[in-house]
A and B are shown apart, each in its own frame.
Chain A
Amino acid sequence: NAGVTQTPKFRILKIGQSMTLQCTQDMNHNYMYWYRQDPGMGLKLIYYSVGAGITDKGEVPNGYNVSRSTTEDFPLRLELAAPSQTSVYFCASSDTGGNQPQHFGDGTRLSIL
């Protein structure tokens, strides 16, 4: 049972480049989330989705875009990479909303130079 799968695991980008972080879950969960984790900081919510076709901003959405065309996939797009977006990114999913535990992927470590 794969759970939540994130690709790639590591990536180095140049300033101004764009990329998409992939997230797929096989648990048929409705809710999916993207977080970033910076050193000494907690997980910060970037975007979340409550179902296919529905997305909403979290605490730190600037510089990112998301889409949710299927239940399984929730990609995160960086359009113009900036050094401030160097971070570890985690995708998570849950069956319903806040009363269910989140299942996390292994993370994507992104460096922007």
Chain B
Amino acid sequence: ILNVEQSPQSLHVQEGDSTNFTCSFPSSNFYALHWYRWETAKSPEALFVMTLNGDEKKKGQISATLNTKEGYSYLYIKGSQPEDSATYLCARYGNQFYFGTGTSLTVIP
């Protein structure tokens, strides 16, 4: 069993605030780190896949960074909107996938 930790567990922010979450994982035998966005009553949707130390990815107002040496990834949302409300999952891939329990984001209008 390989532990992927996400923090915080939940977050409430005001519309327009910027926010960030953390995904921590064992750095040994690392191959890739995935971020997914999971809205209520839907299925997880891929945001980013990162493999290299120092990788940075961006999609609109959402970006992510990766540090494979110390075993963490940050997800940033700039200027949160109510439609960003969702659970954000990270998953570590070494020889198989291990998911964190997610960060639940609520953006208050």
Binding site for B on A (CB under 8 A): 33, 35, 40-45, 48, 56, 58-59, 90, 97-107
- Residues in chain B near residue A101, CB distance under 8 A: 34, 46, 49
Mostly, the A contact residues are loop
State the CA gap A107–B43 with chains docked (Å): 7
Nearest-neighbor residue (CB-CB) of B4 within chain A: A42
- Residues in chain A near residue B99, CB distance under 8 A: 35, 42-44
- Residues in chain B near residue A59, CB distance under 8 A: 1, 96, 98
With an 8 Å Cβ cutoff, the count of chain B residues facing the other chain is 24
B44 interfacial contact with A, CB 8 Å? yes
Q: Is the CB of A97 within 8 A of B101?
A: no
Query: Which of A44, A56, A99 is packed against the most chain B CB atoms within 10 Å?
Result: A99
B81 interfacial contact with A, CB 8 Å? no
Q: How far is the CB of A3 from chain B (nearest CB, A)?
A: 9
- Residues in chain A near residue B100, CB distance under 8 A: 42
Q: Is the CB of B101 within 8 A of A41?
A: yes
In residues 5-51 of chain B, which contact A (Cβ within 8 Å)? 31-32, 34, 36, 42-46, 49, 51
Q: How far is the CB of A45 from chain B (nearest CB, A)?
A: 5
Q: Is the CB of A42 within 8 A of B96?
A: no
